[in-house]
Amino acid sequence: MIETMSDTAHLNVGDQNIEIPVITGTEGEKALDISKLRNSSGLITYDVGYKNTGATTSAITFLNGEEGILRYRGYSIEDLAEKADFLEVSYLLVNGELPSKDDLEKFKKKITMHTLLHEDTKNIFEAYPTGSHPMGQLMAMISSLSSFYPGSLNPYRENDERMLSIIRLIAKMPTMCAMIYKKQMGHPVMYPKNSLDYVENYLHMTFGNVTEEYEVDRTIADALDKLLILHADHEQNCSTSTVRIVGSSHVNLYAAVSAGVAALWGPLHGGANQKVIEMLEAIKADGGNYQKWVDKAKDKNDPFRLMGFGHRVYKNFDPRANIIKDSADKVLAKIGIHDPILDIAKKLEETALNDDYFKERKLFPNVDFYSGIIYRAMGFPTEMFTVLFALGRLPGWIAQWKEMRDEQQPIGRPRQVYTGSQSRDFVPMENR
C-alpha cells in the first residue's frame, strides 16, 4: 500500500516501512523517486513497457495527454507550428531558448555549410538492392557518418566538437533522405543548393532533376515545414528513449540517433504513417466497408489494429493530429488534388469515434493518421513516409541526447524479475 504525504511516500511491505521521496516537476507532475528503493529494501519496481515509469527528468518537452497539451521548451505546438520555422524550432529544442535574429542566421548559415555528403557515401548507396526499404538505408547512412567524422567517436571531446556533430547531422539529414529517394526511383542524385532554405533544399534534392530547374512550391514547402515542426519532439517515446539509452553508454551521436531511427521504423511507432495509407488503400479496394474494418480492429482474435489510432499518452486528442487534419484539407485544396483516400480516412474516423470500443478505450486519431495523406499529395512514395517522420524528429533526438549527456546521466540498465528455471544440473547429450 502506498500513501503519499507531502513530499514523501510510505510503502509498507510486510513489516517494513519504506520512505520514498516524491519529486515534483514544474507543471506539478509528481513522481516517486525509487532510485534508492533497492538499497533500502531489496525491492525493484515492475512496469513492462515503462507505462508508468519516468526514466528521466527533462526540460525539453511538456505533454499532458489528458488535456491534449504539447509544448516545446514551454512554447505551445500550435504557436510554433503557426509562427516559427523548422530550423528555429530545432535551435530552440537543442539550445533551450528561441534564437535572436542574429543567432538564427548564424545557425542556418552553419547548417547550410555542411549539407554535402562525402562522395564516398555513394559507394554505400550503390551496395543497396534497388527497392530496399528507405528506413533500413537511413539507419545505416546515419551510423556511417561516424566513419567519415571520427572526431565524433570521442565522447569526451569539447563542446565545439560535439556541436559540430550536431550541426553536421542536421545539415546532412535532408541530403541523405533525398539520396535514398533518388536511389528508390533509380534517378541521378541531386546535390544541395545552398541558396535555398532547409525545406526548399530538401524538396529540390528530392523532386528536382538534372534536366531542368526545380521551382519550389511555397504551399508545399510551408506545409512540409509545419509537419516537421509537429514531429520535432515528443518527450520519452520509444525512439527517443532508445536514443537516450543507447547514448547513455557514451557511444557517438550518429550511432545513438541511428538506433532511434530503428525504433521509429516499427509500425506501432513512426512506421504507422506508412501502414495507415496501406490500410486506407485496402479499405478502398475492399469497397469502403468501414464497419467491417472497425470490427476487425475490435476482434481480439484478429491481430489487425486500426493504424493511426490510439496513443500511449494522449487519451483525449492528439493536438498534432488536429493541426495536421486541418492542414491536409488546405494543402489538398491548394494543390488542387482530390484524394479519395482522404474521404475514406474521414469516414473511418467518424465510424471509429462513434464506436463504444474506441470511446471506452479513449482511442483517437494520432499524428500518423492524416500525415501520410499530405505526404502522398506532395508526391512522396509511401515507403518514404517514416523517413519524413525521422527528418522531423531529428532535433528532438539530438536535444534529448545532449540533455542526457550534459546531466552526466548514468548508463541505462533496467532490472528484471526472473521467471526462468531455477538452478539445475547440466544434462549430457546422450542422456537427453
Report DSSP letters for 404-420, one per residue.
HHHTTPPPP-------S
When computed from its CA atoms, the radius of gyration of the chain, rounded to whole angstroms, is 24
- CB closer to ligand CMC out of 173 and 230: 230
- CB closer to ligand CMC out of 203 and 294: 294
- CB closer to ligand CMC out of 255 and 363: 363
Beta strand 30-32 with 75-76: parallel, antiparallel or unpaired? unpaired
CB of 391 to ligand CMC, least distance (A): 15
CB of 369 to ligand CMC, least distance (A): 7
Name residues whose C-beta falls within 8 Å of residue 55's C-beta, 6 or more positions apart in sequence.
236, 241, 244, 412
Cell numbers given for 378:
506532395
CB of 62 to ligand CMC, least distance (A): 16
Report DSSP letters for 156-184, one per residue.
T--HHHHHHHHHHHHHHHHHHHHHHHHHH
Residues annotated as catalytic (active site), given as ranges: 311, 368
- CB closer to ligand CMC out of 73 and 234: 234
Contact 297, 283 (CB under 8 A): no
Interface residue list for ligand CMC (CB under 6 A): 234, 237, 268-270, 272, 297, 305-312, 361, 363, 366-368
CB of 268 to ligand CMC, least distance (A): 4
CB of 370 to ligand CMC, least distance (A): 12
- CB closer to ligand CMC out of 208 and 392: 392
Q: By beta-carbon distance, which residue lies closest to ligand CMC?
A: 310
Q: Tell me the CA distances in angstroms from 83 to 75, 77, 79, 158, 394, one per residue in order.
A: 11, 10, 6, 34, 20
Among the listed residues 175, 363, 141, 383, the one whose alpha carbon sits nearest the alpha carbon of residue 270: 383
Contact 18, 40 (CB under 8 A): yes
* Half-sphere exposure at residue 258, Cβ-oriented, CA atoms within 13 angstroms: 17
Chain-centroid distance of CA 325 in Å reads 19
CB of 269 to ligand CMC, least distance (A): 4
Local structure of residue 133 (DSSP, 8 states): -
CB of 209 to ligand CMC, least distance (A): 32
Beta strand spans in 280-341 (E): none
CA angle (268 as vertex; 47, 303 as ends), nearest 5: 95
Among the listed residues 192, 195, 189, the one whose alpha carbon sits nearest the alpha carbon of residue 204: 192
- CB closer to ligand CMC out of 247 and 392: 392
- CB closer to ligand CMC out of 95 and 322: 322
